[in-house]
């Protein structure tokens, strides 16, 4: 028994050394360039998500609120929007099945559509005026302000949520249309398989969300009408910070998943090793007992 315990301890120590060597081989070698890249990466994440922006002067904040209130509560624009929405509802009521070949629905839809086309230039004009007021409000406070930081962070978390929703939908469809699992698969194997599938869907969703965030962030940044270099710097920090946050989150998720798979595989390997050693020990005991009986 003591020999068996010593052999088990030696095998365990050998497996631990081999595992540590394998893990170290996958870690990046820390060079000055690597340190600089990591520091820039962490700094961009901090600036995007946690940094406190410069305080906005009260006068600029007051003008910003005035412009945004005027854009949101324009009575003329609200009236035109309500009238156009009412006309669209009327058109939808007349759009029955095959209305293009049925009278009087075809004539009614055409008449309502003509009224909508007549009011659309007015609606576009008031919407353009609203957008002009919003742009003026953003230019008043500036890009490097509380409002600018809040807008970019709101856009990032919106894109983040869209990526997670995509992963949930794709995983649901994968489970819904999946074939039955093989009989030899255990419950743990099935759960790990679906966990890895969810991580793959999450990776696709979040990386796609980063791409969409980049386009939206660039459009949002230059809606503040900043100087070119300032806008490029802000957009670069936002996009790099978003990509870094997503990659860090995915790295943590995959590390946790790989760690769980590694623990399960290691326990299974230890169980097989102990079973083999136990069988060898029993065979040795049986062989010794047989020789003693023969003598």
Q: How far apart are CA 234 and CA 228, in angstroms?
A: 10
Say which range, 123-132, 166-175, 227-236, 263-272, has the weakest mean pLDDT. 263-272
Conformation bin of residue 95: beta by default, left when phi > 0, alpha when psi is -120 to 50: beta
Q: What is the pLDDT of residues 35-66, one digit of tens each?
A: 888 888 899 999 999 998 888 889 999 999 99
Q: Which residues contact 40 (CB under 8 A, 6 or more apart)?
A: 240
- Contact present, 224 and 148 (Cβ < 8 Å): yes
Q: How confident is the model at residue 294 (pLDDT cuts 50, 70, 90)?
A: very low
Place of tokens 């068996």: 4
pLDDT digit string, tens, across residues 149-202: 999 999 999 999 999 999 999 988 888 877 655 555 566 677 777 888 888 999
Q: What is the DSSP letter of 95?
A: -
Q: Which residue has the higher pLDDT, 290 or 40?
A: 40
Is residue 133 predicted with pLDDT exceeding 70? yes
> What is the average pLDDT across 107-133?
90
CA distances from 91 to 26, 39, 121 (A): 62, 58, 18
């Amino acid at each position: 028994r003591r020999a068996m315990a010593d052999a088990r301890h030696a095998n365990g120590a050998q497996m631990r050394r081999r595992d540590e060597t394998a893990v170290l081989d996958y870690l990046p070698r820390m060079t000055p360039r690597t340190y600089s890249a990591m520091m820039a990466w962490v700094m961009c994440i901090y600036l995007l998500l946690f940094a406190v922006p410069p305080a906005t002067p009260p006068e600029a904040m007051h003008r910003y609120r005035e412009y945004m209130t005027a854009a949101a509560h324009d009575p003329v624009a609200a009236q035109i929007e309500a009238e156009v929405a009412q006309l669209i509802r009327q058109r939808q009521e007349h759009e029955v099945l095959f209305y293009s070949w049925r009278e009087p629905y075809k004539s009614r839809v055409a008449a309502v559509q003509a009224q909508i086309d007549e009011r659309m230039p007015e609606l576009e004009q008031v919407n353009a005026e609203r957008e002009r007021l919003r742009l003026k409000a953003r230019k008043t406070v500036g890009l490097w302000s509380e409002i600018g930081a809040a807008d970019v962070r709101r856009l990032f978390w919106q894109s983040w949520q869209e990526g997670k929703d995509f992963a949930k939908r794709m995983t649901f469809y994968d489970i819904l249309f999946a074939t039955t699992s093989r009989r030899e698969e255990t419950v743990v194997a099935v759960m790990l398989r679906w966990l890895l599938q969810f991580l793959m869907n999450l990776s696709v969703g979040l990386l796609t969300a980063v791409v969409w965030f980049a386009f939206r962030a660039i459009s949002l940044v230059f809606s503040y009408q900043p100087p070119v270099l300032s806008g490029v710097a802000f957009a670069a920090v936002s996009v790099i910070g978003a990509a870094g946050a997503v990659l860090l989150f995915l790295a943590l998720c995959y590390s946790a998943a790989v760690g769980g798979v590694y623990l399960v595989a290691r326990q299974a390997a230890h169980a097989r090793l102990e079973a083999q050693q136990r069988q060898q020990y029993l065979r040795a005991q049986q062989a010794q007992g047989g020789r003693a009986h023969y003598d």
